[in-house]
Amino acid sequence: MIGSRPAGLEGPAPEHRSGRLSVAALRSVIPGRMWGGKGCGVPCDYCRVLVSAEEIEYEVEAQLDGAPITLHFHARCYDTWRLSREPRVPDPTAAAK
Ligand SMILES: [Zn+2]
């Protein structure tokens, strides 16, 4: 008996960029237009918690590696994200330099 069968077309597809961005990716994003509004039920790209309809959601058009993406943030997470990208913010890990 030959037990061979065609293989190779199945398997889990790696999930790139359809939701979860690493911290490093978030830092390398180039932000474009931004606007705020009510939460529309998508998770925040910073803390990954859903932005509820009662909360303000910041939506940011951005580019990551030349590809357009849209980021969603809580207002507080947007601030934190912006500050984390801000090169002038003192970085404790760089203090030794
Ligand atoms: Zn958040």
pLDDT tens, position by position, 43-82: 999 999 999 999 999 999 999 999 999 999 999 999 999 9
- Asked if residue 13 has pLDDT above 50, the reply is no
What spacing in Å lies between the alpha carbon of 46 and ligand 1's midpoint?
A: 5
Q: What is the mean pLDDT of residues 23-34?
A: 91
Q: Please give the span between the terminal C-alpha atoms of the chain, in angstroms, as a whole number.
A: 68
What separation in Å is there between the alpha carbon of 87 and the centre of ligand 1?
Answer: 21
Residue 45 CA to ligand 1 centre (angstroms) = 7
Q: What is the full DSSP assignment across the chain?
A: -------SS-SPPP--SSS---HHHHHH-EEEEEEEEE--S-B-TTT--B--TTSEEEEEEEEETTEEEEEEEEHHHHHHHHHHH-TTS--GGGTT-
Beta bridge mates, 35:
59
Q: What is the mean pLDDT of residues 33-39?
A: 94
